[in-house]
Every structure is written in C-alpha cells, then in structure tokens.
Amino acid sequence: MFRTAIPLGHWAGIRVGAHWSVFVVLVLIADLLASTVLPQAAPGETTTSYWVAAGLTAIGFLISLLLHELSHALVARRYGVGVKRITLWMLGGAAELEDEPPSPRADLRIAVAGPVASLVIGGTALGTAMLAARTLPPLPVGGLVWLGVSNLVLAVFNLLPGAPLDGGRILRALVWQWRGDRVKAVAVSAKAGQVLGALLGAAGLAQLILLRQFGGLWLMLLGWFLVFAAQAELTTGLLRERLEGLRVGDIMNPAPVIAPGWWTVDAFATYAAGKSRDRVYPVLSFDGVPIGIVSLGDLAHLSEKDRRVTRVADVARKEPTVTVADVDAPVTELMSGAFVGHGRDLVLVTKAAGLAGVVSAEDLARAVELAALGHAPRAANPDSAGDVIAG
Ligand SMILES: [Zn+2]
C-alpha cells in the first residue's frame, strides 16, 4: 500500500516516509483553516496571514501525527521489537513493526503510547493557547487551539476498540492477557474492527444523506478502510495460526540447482539451459558461502561480450534486496514481505554460514494450502531423516 512513499529522512533512527495522499489532506486542512476556522477565531487579518498561519498549523498537525507514530515505535523498540518504517498517509500514520510484540503487556504499552502522545500534544497546545491568549495575537492562538483540539480528537478516535486502530490493539492485548491465547485475541480485535468500520460507514452515509454534509464521505472512507484492514488482519491471523510451529527448514527445497559464483555468466547460462527448469538460482562462493540469488532475467541484461567476462557473483542480487532466513526460523517470519518487491523471488535458507536450501513463493503458498487441508508440509530434510532403520 505504501510502496510509493516519499522519504522524510530518519527520526530517532527510524525511516520515515509520507504517502502522497497525506499532502492532499494537508492542503485540505490548510484550506479549511485559512477560509473558515482562522477567520472566525481571529477576524480582520489579511488573506496572506491566514494562509501563512494555516500552513504552519497544518505542518504542526503533520508533525504531531509523526510524534504519535514515533511513540509507538520507540516503545516497541524498548521491548526489543524492531520498526521497519513509519509511513504517514491520508488516514493518519502507520508504524510497521518487524515482529509481533512478545507479551500482552508489551502489546498494550506499544498500543497506548500513540494516543498518550496525542493527548499530551493536544493538552500542551490547548494549555499554551490559554496561557498565551493575552500576550499573543489571536491568529497563532487560533492555530494552537485547532491543533490542540484535533490532537485530542485523534487520540479519542484512535482509542475506538477495533483493529487496526490503537484501541483494537489494546483490546487484543487485554484478551490475550485474559485468555492466554494470542490467535484468539487477534480474531476478537479484528472482528471488532469490522463491526466498528461498518458502524462508521453507516454513520457517514447517514451524515451524507440526512444532513447533506460532505464530511460523511470522509467517515465512509474511514469505515471502508477499517473493514478492509480488519479483514486482512483476520486472514493473516488465521494463516499464522495454521503455520504455527513450522520452521523455514520444513518448507524449503533442500536441494536447489546452484549457480557457482566464480563461473562466467556464459558458462552458467549454458549449464542452466541444460540442467534445470528454474528461473532463479542461489549463488554460492567458491568456499560454499551463499552470496545472493541470480535470475536468468538478470543475466539477459548483459551484452554478449560482458557475458563472457562477467562472473555470476558480480551480477548476483545480495542482501538487503534478498531475504535470508535461518533454517530454524518460524515460517511466519516469511509472511511479512519476504516475496514482495523486485528481486525477492527466492529466500536463501542458511544453516550456520552455509546454504541449507531455498524457499520460493510457490513453496510458501504450498505450505499454506497444505496447512489449510490439515497437513504439515515436511521437506525431505537430510538432517531430520534420523529414522533410518539400521540394518
Ligand atoms: Zn496509533
């Protein structure tokens, strides 16, 4: 959803980006402030002053969204959960965690951190506006009041109890703590999110039709998003449950055709044409260390002359473009984006420093489908073949 994010640098070491839709919202907010909110709060100013104050307030709002997400991210990091990135978009922000929170307590604290930040920002802005009402001109005071109120609204909205809102995460943490079952908790909060989304959508429709207010469209969009996101969470939760306990080694292909990194591209192309049916190959160095992966497509980009002199290792795609997983890592680790994006056609599975096998998107899909049929996929893993009858 966020692959087209515009980079906004690193904050506290976390990559931050903004989807273009957030800028549309910023313009809408600035327009609302400059044409309605600020002229009412501070009448008699010039159009330019209204727009300057509106622009600054809108940017302040963007920063407060970022602080909300950063609070989630920093608490997550304190519990040892890495943060992939933060993306701001039309309906707020999203901090993408690399892992699931380790305990209900961590889940709860990570979820609560965002609304707490919004409450603090809202309270601070309103407090400052009140204290400075006599000394500051009415225009900046009007901006501060709007910023304060919108942050309080943001906090309250995010506390609504349904996934993927923060309130839904809180619900998940509480059910997880109470029942001791995370999968169950995910299902409860996702279902609550669907109900909540439907209610918001209906409220938006009523606002649009009965009150003839276009703000209803916004609410409908939000409701639709919630239903959609909650459904996705339910599906992922179910998959996780089915794949629970499976290791990457269980679903890998333990004997893939290897591309020797020290060979020339030409030599390997001849070999690949005759020896295999694959498109993508793991590349090994001369001493057997996995270097990366290479596809026939990558090789085809080279000119005929280059193919005779270039080594396979030089054109191999390497980390971080290539996902590398340990043979004992849980399969669920591959679900979050292992096969998303160019160059991620094959996961390299390692054991100690060596190559244990590879997992393709096909292998993962097969594991999911077998699990749905009630079967555990087991690869012909040479190490687990301990039950050979010695005769
Ligand atoms: Zn949040």
In order along its 391 residues, the chain shows pLDDT tens digits of 455 678 888 888 888 888 888 888 889 889 988 888 888 888 888 888 899 989 999 999 999 999 999 999 999 999 988 888 888 887 778 888 877 888 999 999 999 999 999 999 999 999 999 998 888 888 889 999 999 999 999 999 999 998 888 999 999 999 999 998 888 898 899 999 999 999 999 999 999 889 888 878 888 988 998 898 888 888 877 777 778 778 888 889 988 899 999 999 999 999 888 878 888 999 999 988 999 999 888 888 899 999 999 999 999 988 777 888 888 888 877 776 566 555 567 888 888 888 999 998 888 888 888 887 877 776 544 444 333 333 3
pLDDT of 3 reads 57
What count of Cα atoms within 13 Å lies in the side-chain half-sphere of residue 31? 6
Question: Could you tell me if 236 and 263 lie in one domain?
Answer: no
Q: Which of 201, 221, 243 is the last residue of a domain?
A: 243
Q: Which of 243, 267, 294 is the last residue of a domain?
A: 243
Question: Could you tell me if 111 and 235 lie in one domain?
Answer: yes
C-alpha torsion angle, residues 282, 286, 287, 291 (rounded to 10): -30
What are the φ and ψ backbone dihedral angles of 15, each rounded to 5 degrees? -70, 125
The count of domains in the chain is 2
pLDDT of 381 reads 47
Question: Could you tell me if 237 and 261 lie in one domain?
Answer: no
Catalytic residues: 69
Question: Could you tell me if 295 and 372 lie in one domain?
Answer: yes
Ligand 1 centroid distance, CA of 203 (Å) = 22
Q: Which of 213, 243, 273 is the last residue of a domain?
A: 243
Q: Are 379 and 358 in contact (CB under 8 A)?
A: no
Q: Is residue 390 part of a domain?
A: no
Across 165-183, b (16+ Cβ under 10 Å) vs e yields: bbbbbbbbbbbbeeeeebe
Ligand 1 centroid distance, CA of 69 (Å) = 6
Q: Which two tokens stand for residue 206?
A: 């009523």
How far is the CA of 201 from the CAs of 93, 195, 208, 215, in angstroms? Answer: 20, 10, 11, 12
Ligand 1 centroid distance, CA of 158 (Å) = 6
What would the DSSP string read from start to end of 112-161? HHHHHHHHHHHHHHHHHHHHTTTTS-HHHHHHHHHHHHHHHHHHHHHTSS
Q: Is residue 237 part of a domain?
A: yes
Question: Could you tell me if 178 and 253 lie in one domain?
Answer: no
Question: Could you tell me if 68 and 114 lie in one domain?
Answer: yes
Q: Is residue 386 part of a domain?
A: no
Per the document, the length of the chain is 391
Q: Is residue 160 part of a domain?
A: yes
Q: Is residue 360 part of a domain?
A: yes
Q: Give the domain extent around 192.
A: 6-243
Q: Which CATH number belongs to the domain containing residue 318 in this structure?
A: 3.10.580.10
